[in-house]
Amino acid sequence: MGNKKKFYDVPTRFVFDGKFRIKANSQEQADDYVQKHCGLVLGGPIHTTLPDEDVDWEFNVHPEKIAIKKSKKITCIIKSIKRHLRDYHDENIDDVIPICDDLVYEVGELLTIFQND
């Protein structure tokens, strides 16, 4: 029989490490400015709404790529969590499932980190 291919989802995270150099009254204010005024959209440049004289940035333009592998054990754990959440949130299950999917991603990421150590 022919080899039938199908699509598989592979959760992946791209991490850009770098820093913003912010003119501010304190580290706390600088942190707040970055949270509120600096960003990046895939396919676009790093951007900020701060004045040019108050900000500079330095980021590697090539991100670290992390593909999250799901193990059978993790898949079983997530199915169990989903089952328990359904028991408690039957009327809002559509709201709960995306939370579980996020949990799958985060658990997978943690496993990747620990497997590499």
CB 45 within 8 A of CB 9: no
User: Is the domain of 34 the same as that of 77?
Assistant: no
Q: What's the CA gap between 49 and 25, in Å, rounded?
A: 18
Q: What's the CA gap between 2 and 92, in Å, rounded?
A: 42
What is the DSSP secondary structure assignment for residue 39, as one 8-state letter? E
Domain final position from 66, 84, 100: 66
Q: Comparing C-alpha atoms, which of 108, 117, 98, 114 is closest to residue 13?
A: 108
Q: Is the pTM of this model over 0.85?
A: no
User: What does the block give as tokens for 15?
Assistant: 């991490």
Q: Could you tell me the residue range of the domain that residue 27 belongs to?
A: 12-66
Q: What's the CA gap between 6 and 13, in Å, rounded?
A: 22
User: Is the domain of 88 the same as that of 107?
Assistant: yes
- pLDDT tens for the 117 residues of the chain, in order: 678 888 877 777 788 888 999 999 999 999 999 999 998 887 888 888 999 999 998 888 888 887 766 666 666 666 777 666 666 555 565 666 666 666 766 666 666 655 554
